[in-house]
Amino acid sequence: MKIVVLLTQLAAVVLAALALWSIRHELNERATTRLAWVVTPALAIVVAAVLLIVSPGKRYELWVAAIVIGLVIGAVAGALMKINQDTGLGLLRVPRTWDGAAAAALLLVLTLARVVTSNLMARESGKFGVLGAAAAFLAAYLAARYVIARLYKVPRAIHLDMIRGRNPHRTLIA
């Protein structure tokens, strides 16, 4: 049983690393497909679910509060994003944003902390479920940020001709 939990936690670390890698388009301001935008929130949700499942403390009220707060803050962040699109090629681009990458990086740190505290340290868990709640907050933040940006901001975004994987070096307009 212990080996299954360890393998699950290690899989969560790999998925969190992939989530961080998949959001690189926001750091280098490159145009990417709409499908590529959904990868980060999807991976974050899976990672948060894994961390909630293997959490030694089952504090559902804390988890629900973290998810609701993450959804609200993520929705605000998504509404504030500046997006350009190429409607013909289905490409999206944002200026350099750090919030999504920071959330994905924190999710990776949380998964590493879960592996270390559960398997490498000899201390007992406080059974508060804080790591799981933090992961749920970050996943909800990334998901709400994506949904609001995709449904609210993208239809209102201006069209610019872009090439996938390139920065057209044009100013983004709200």
Please report the pLDDT score of residue 125 as a whole number.
58
DSSP codes joined into one string, 109-126: HHHHHHHIIIII--SPP-
Backbone angles phi, psi at 53, to 5 degrees: -70, -45
Cα–Cα nearest to 143, from 13, 63, 38, 17:
38
Query: pLDDT tens digit string along 58-81?
Result: 788 988 999 999 999 999 999 998
| pTM, entire model | 0.88
CA 87 to CA 119: how far, in whole Å? 48
State the residue for tokens 């998925």.
15
CA 142 to CA 71: how far, in whole Å? 8
Neighbouring C-beta atoms of residue 61, cutoff 10 Å: 9
Backbone angles phi, psi at 86, to 5 degrees: -115, 105
What is the CA angle 75-93-74, rounded to 5? 10
- Span of 5-14, 70-79, 81-90, 95-104 with lowest mean pLDDT: 81-90
- Span of 8-12, 67-71, 129-133 with lowest mean pLDDT: 129-133
Residues in the chain: 174
**Which one-letter amino acid corresponds to residue 9?**
Q
